[in-house]
Structure 1
Amino acid sequence: MQTLSSDSSGAYSDEELIKHLPGFTNHYATVNGVRLHYADGGSGPALVCLPGWPQTWYSYHPIATQLAQRYRVILVDIRGMGSSEKPLAGYDKKTMAQDIYELLGHMGLEKASLLGHDIGGMVASSFAFNYPKATEKLIVADGAHPSEGMMQMPMLPAPGSFTRKMNGQYPYPWWMAFNQVKGLPEQLLAGRFEYLLDYLFGYVMLDESRMSAFDRALYASVYNQPESIRASNAWYQAFDQDIADARMYARLTMPVLGIGSHVSYHYLQMSLPSMAEQVEVIGILDSGHYLFEEKPDRVLEAVYNFLG
């Protein structure tokens, strides 16, 4: 099974990208039956960073080197992402959380804080639910554990709300449905994923210029492959199982921070108190969904204040 992008030896390879993050090194480990790539840098308390769709470990580059001045920062390509393996199964967030738990064991770490964005926030939440003793603190940025509320998402957008920019009061994440379809997205998007990326960044970011041309080309290179589209869509296709698993979880007792952009702040305000007992939700309302690119200083301030 191929696990690397089409440009695995070029400018977008792990070996080249790591040069953009002084002090970080690339590593690969087979845990829970899947081979994962991760980058490791800094020293201090462990902070595991989990990215979202449609990005990779490199999405943390606007904040990683600063975080590494205070923490040991571990940037992970989750199952199905980047140069991590893309098996045919195991994309429910409970299994993906087990991937991360076993990765920590492989690294000799008994406990860590987690920072997850988008799909990564879902995996980080599942980690906290399933491995509370291994979770110091939990931070989710624009993405928490799948819940029953997802079943209430509208098939059609609210009248007048579906414009060039995502409406923060009436968000319409149409890709939640599109990514449920098996087989067709690979046929439509393979080799032309940049069209989806450019539309998506324009739609969910307030300042899309903050997503650089290099970053856009990198993510297009990764997700242009049919197997990458298939694997990343599987994160969405597992939501039914994730919601069923959530019914069995007790509320989290460790401190939890939600960082919400203008499109997710209100959602986090509603969802996180039902997930956890110690919750703080911060809104960065002058940012779109890709907060690390748009408002890295604000994200760093929130993380520093929360982790201490």
Structure 2
Amino acid sequence: MKVISRIATAGAALAALMLPLAPSYAQPRSHVGTDATIVHKTTTAKNANVSDAALVKSLPGFRNGYAEVDGVRLHYVVGGKGEPLVLLPGWPETWWTFHKIMPALAEQHTVIAVDLRGMGSSSRPADGYDKKTMARDVYELVKSLGYDKASVAGHDIGSAVAFAYGENYPQATNKLVMMELPHPDDSLMSFPLLPAQGAFSDKLGTARPYLWWFAFNQVQGLPEKLLAGHIRVEQDWIFNYFLEDASAVDARDRAVYERAYNTADAIRASNAWYQAFPQDVIDNKGYGTLQMPVLALGGPAYGWMKKVVAQKAANLTAMKVENSGHFIQEEQSELVARTMTDFLQDDHQPALKL
């Protein structure tokens, strides 16, 4: 039975959007052992070859590709067979965030995992980081690969770009999968500067997320000076905060992301995704209602996703990913791959837990 989630319009206040996590989420716990193991392996991972050429060798049937679109050079990894499925990553990661689910998805689809404008091996122009422009990049890439239509799935920033793709190119969109971030809307403008008393620590636990980096990444010039050359400090904090199982993003993964973001120019470009949020909010006001099937998958952001996406999707299926932090495609890769495959292949989707 197909379950369509139609949720009443949410208020703009953050308190109405960032719902408490489900009771099954674990309380903050000691993570010294697991994290210490990852830190211990850091030197070895740094010395390993984490180039795109080396990474793609661990994914049989996939290859690296590059395309010039709208004056931007996009890097992508492609493999598999069948109808095209575009995967769009988020911050602070690259196409590699999908490496656990790409082989399974490639059994039924031609999988195209993209480094977005400003990410990884793609170019980092001075502007164009609003999600509408980034969606145009993806649309032009899809066309350049010879496809008229594709399904698009995104995580975090990539989820917002996927939504903008569906809104601006509905004729080129089969189905959408959004993970762990809705498209920016008015609710972002009311995010609190300070966390609630006693609700913030270095591990998410059962508290509402405190998204301090949304503000920090707005500052132009300063983050680059503070973090260039040691971005790993910030990345490890983010992974520790948002992962229930710290080993799900292991030493090699972290070396990949460190390499991708460790320069001032890479930090400048990735922060521009956040600096474009005010424009994204304006663009969102002009968007209509998505008519294609949309799957919203959420861990900590499930309540927020369900409320916000339901306002813009007429055909929404929403599922809570249990026992996972923000990086659901890495912590619960088998479940995510299976759910995506069922959603993308079956016109009569199985019932999903709302």
TM-score, with length taken from structure 1: 0.95
Q: Does 1:155 align with 2:193?
A: yes
The one of the two structures with greater contact order (alpha-carbon pairs below 8 A, sep at least 6) is: 2
State the identity as a percent.
49
Per the alignment, residue 74 of structure 2 pairs with 36
| Alignment match, 2:313 | 276
2:281 maps to 1:252: no
Larger radius of gyration: 2
Post-superposition shift, 1:164?
2.3
The one of 261, 283, 293 aligned to 1:223: 261
Residues 34-66 of structure 1 show CA distances to partners (whole Å, capped at 9, x for unaligned) of 000001100101100000001001111011111
Say whether the 8 Å CA contact 1:168–1:264 is kept in structure 2.
no
Give 2:115's aligned amino acid. D
Question: CA offsets, 1:130-186, max 9 Å, x none?
Answer: 000100000001012111111121111112110221255521111100000000000
Query: Which residue pairs with 2:182 in the alignment?
Result: 144
Residue matched to 2:303: 266
1:287 counterpart residue number: 324
Instruction: Quote the residue 1:94 is aligned against.
Output: 132
Partner SS, residue 236 of structure 1: helix
- The match for 2:244 is 206
State the aligned residue count: 299
Q: CA RMSD in A?
A: 1.2
Q: 1:54 & 1:22 partners in 2: Cα distance?
A: 25
Tell me the distance in 2 between the aligned counterparts of 1:164 and 1:77.
29
Return the alpha-carbon distance in structure 1 between the equivalents of residues 213 and 202 of structure 2: 15
Task: Name the structure 2 match of 1:5.
Answer: none
In 2, distance between residues paired with 1:89 and 1:227? Answer: 12
1:183-202 pair list within 5 angstroms: 183-202=221-240
Question: What is the match of residue 97 of structure 2?
Answer: 59
Contact 2:200 2:207 in 1 (8 A): no
Structure 1 residue 236 corresponds to structure 2 residue 282: no
Runs (5+) with no aligned partner, structure 1: 1-9
Q: Secondary structure of the residue that 1:116 maps to in structure 2?
A: strand
> Within 2, Cα distance between the matches of 1:110 and 1:171?
39
Question: 1:87, CA displacement in angstroms?
Answer: 0.4
Partner of 2:338: 301
Equivalent runs, 1:65-84 vs 2, <5 Å: 65-84=103-122
Pick closer, same or farther for the CA change 1:48–1:168 going to 2, 3 Å: farther
Q: Residues 205-253 of structure 1: CA distance to partner in whole angstroms, max 9, x if unpaired?
A: 1111211101111111111111000000000000010010011111100
